[in-house]
Structure 1
Amino acid sequence: MSAELSVLDLVPVRTDQTTADALRASVALARTADRLGYRRYWVAEHHNMPAVAATNPPVLIAMLASATERIRVGSGGVMLPNHAPLVVAEQFALLEAAFPGRIDLGLGRAPGTDPVTSWALRHGAGGVDDQAVARFPEYVDNVLAMMEPAGVGLALRERTHVLRATPQATSVPAIWLLGSSDFSARLAAEKGMPYVFAHHFSGQGTAEALELYRSSFKPSPELDEPRTFLTANAVVAETTAEAERSVLPNLLQMLALRTGQELTAQPTIEEAEERFAALPDAHRDLALAMRERWVVGDPASARARIGELAAEFGVDEVMVQPVAGTVAGTDPGRSPGRERTLELMAGA
């Protein structure tokens, strides 16, 4: 099965970069994806992480959409329990008005950070807690309703007040539900919404979640049949050996996350090689097991693997997170390995 290609970006920050450098690198990456014909470019929401600058999807989307011409730009995703639904609706209604037909709003249920930072996101007033997460379906309904051009009626003191995300809207962004468990799969099916499972994060449970979504799907006015795609981490280089070397910095980041180690800025390839060589056997085995679920190799093998994944999970689109590392001395405002991954994946 041939599949269209899209991009997921966490705006990684390396040991040789400032936040400004990382943002410039992501703009260059988005322009590369736009030039090569990738379908969409999504940015994540994570907070208080030393190696991730994707803290505010609406701000990043405005920046990236302004720097590109045709590619769809969206969130992968906005962590809805962190925010008031009206604020999210207002932000994305404005983005859709500025870039009509190019905006995707992906909604997630996880906090995207640690409990203390979750609390701080709303100054301790109604932040991410069990109640906020439990109200996720209600929040989704609120965003959907508030973003409609006609708005939604809010009954208060025997009067109905109309809330609109923006005046005189003529279109709304495409709204997706995202998840890494079966909760969002069930909810997306029930509401007749498009759905994406975070295969790039765990690589497990994908088939079960997609089957649950497809088998339970109820058509809606916006969508008459299930719609989904696959996400995957990817490093592509001219040779497999080069790709295997370039994957090490991100692999060490994921290993630290999985084993509860201190998170740091992303190391260079040279730094990562030294750290990987010093890993305990158990940690090295875990890292290699994670890497087996990623797309890592030369152009021919990588494109073949993308086709296999698309066929295995029955999708016509694969969203790759290019996670190639960078050697010491590279221009801080660019990520050549990530750009080259997109070029080689697209056959350029």
Structure 2
Amino acid sequence: MSTVCFPVLSVLDLVPVRDDQSTSDAINATLSLAKLADRIGYRRYWVAEHHNMLASAGTNPPVLVAMLADATERIRVGSGAVLLPNHTPFVVAEQFALLEAAHPCRIDLGIGRSSGTDPITSDALRHGVGGIESHGVMSYPQHIDSVIAMMKTSGIEMTVAGRRQTLRATAKATTVPQVWLLGASSQSARLAGQKGMPYVFGHHLGVGSTAEALHSYRSSFEPSPQLAEPQTILPIHASVADTYDEAYRAALPWLLVMLGLRTGQPQAAVKSIEQAEKIRLPPAHKQIVDAMANQWVIGGPDDARAQIEGLAATYAVDEVMIHPVSGTYEGADPRSSPGREQTLRLLAV
């Protein structure tokens, strides 16, 4: 009789900020969660890039990655993702080359294409004095190549105003970060395949084209010096507790955050479980919340693990990346996130 192997698990953290937390508290809760993931066997711990959000302190992945790498011992740490159109390729290459030099063979550079914010904040990120030109998105494929090349020992040859020079992200690199491409479309999947890069499809975003995108990635894959065959990660939202009812209650605060983003409501920090339960939603909003909850992994340990096994088998992915969305009851230490910690513990092999 054949047996189904439980997939390799990693962690995605948006550095959530609760009503009872300062930014400092949220960062400390993230560091505690990363230490736990390191101890109990998760493979990677990635942080996302979002800007001008009251519910997230994850504005600067390389700064957070430095903190996480210092706080942990074994686990790979990285960005999920650095949103390349917000940054110049050389700066990104310098940041992650230094992180890799300080923590050899433990750094992942996940690269994405979106802005991670609203149009006004996006303009502030890209177009202030000395800002990034508007063709940054159009030049995205070339910028990916530049980042990868500049982190290598040989660097990349550049010509400006008739002068040719080698650009290197750091003086004497001995190892380089593993570079991943993140996306939520078949276009990004094909780009990752054509470049021979490992790929993360944004399944947790609920866009509904996971199978199509992963097929596009695998069918277009061309081996590269970085990667001989396709490698994939599937991110999911997960809330796990002793029972389904407890897990659903714990998921409510983040369900409300996502509802607010989808319906254009005013921003707010993440509510406590008690606060979330008191909110009465209009039928249309309740329908959105129910649809999201049905796409998330919510349940007791056995059921949640079975759901994750099913997703990994359905999409034939190499890893599943857990975004632990479990909220917190009132009275918890602001520098901790007990619900998220419980989710990781209950899913650990």
Question: Into which bin does the TM-score normalised by the smaller protein fall?
Answer: over 0.9
- 1:175-254 maps to which residues of 2 (within 5 A)? 175-254=179-258
Deviates more, 1:22-31 or 1:151-160: 151-160
Counterpart-to-counterpart distance in 1, 2:327 and 2:338:
9
Counterpart-to-counterpart distance in 1, 2:55 and 2:245:
25
Instruction: Calculate the aligned-residue CA RMSD, in Å.
Output: 1.3
- 1:18-33 maps to which residues of 2 (within 5 A)? 18-33=22-37
TM superposition shift of 1:126:
7.2
TM superposition shift of 1:123:
4.5
Counterpart-to-counterpart distance in 2, 1:192 and 1:126:
33
Q: Secondary structure at the match of 1:320?
A: strand
Q: 1:337 aligns with which of 332, 336, 339?
A: 339
Counterpart-to-counterpart distance in 2, 1:261 and 1:319:
28
Q: 2:164 aligns with which of 150, 160, 174?
A: 160
TM superposition shift of 1:124:
2.7
Q: 2:259 aligns with which of 245, 255, 259?
A: 255
Residue 286 and residue 189 in structure 1: after superposition, are their counterparts in 2 closer, same or farther (change >3 A)? same
TM-score for both structures, normalised by structure 2: 0.96
TM superposition shift of 1:159:
3.6
Counterpart-to-counterpart distance in 2, 1:122 and 1:303:
41
Aligned residue identity for 1:83: H
Q: Secondary structure at the match of 1:207?
A: helix
Could you tell me which residue of structure 2 aligns to residue 94 of structure 1? 98
Aligned residue identity for 1:293: Q
Deviates more, 1:123-132 or 1:15-24: 123-132
Runs of 5+ unmatched residues, structure 1: none
Percent of aligned positions that are identical? 61
Does residue 131 of structure 1 match 2:131? Answer: no
Does residue 10 of structure 1 match 2:14? Answer: yes
Counterpart-to-counterpart distance in 2, 1:158 and 1:127:
24
Runs of 5+ unmatched residues, structure 2: none
Counterpart-to-counterpart distance in 1, 2:79 and 2:95:
12
Q: 1:171 aligns with which of 175, 181, 193?
A: 175
Residue 167 and residue 129 in structure 1: after superposition, are their counterparts in 2 closer, same or farther (change >3 A)? closer
Q: Per-residue displacement from partner, 1:254-274 (whole Å, max 9, x unpaired)?
A: 111111111200000011001
Q: 1:284 aligns with which of 283, 286, 291?
A: 286
Deviates more, 1:293-302 or 1:127-136: 127-136
Aligned residue identity for 1:65: A
Q: Give the conservation status (yes or no) of the 8 Å contact 1:185–1:209.
A: yes
TM superposition shift of 1:156:
3.2
Could you tell me which residue of structure 1 aligns to residue 79 of structure 2? 75
TM-score for both structures, normalised by structure 1: 0.97
Deviates more, 1:220-229 or 1:34-43: 220-229
Counterpart-to-counterpart distance in 2, 1:9 and 1:129:
29
Q: Give the conservation status (yes or no) of the 8 Å contact 2:151–2:168.
A: yes
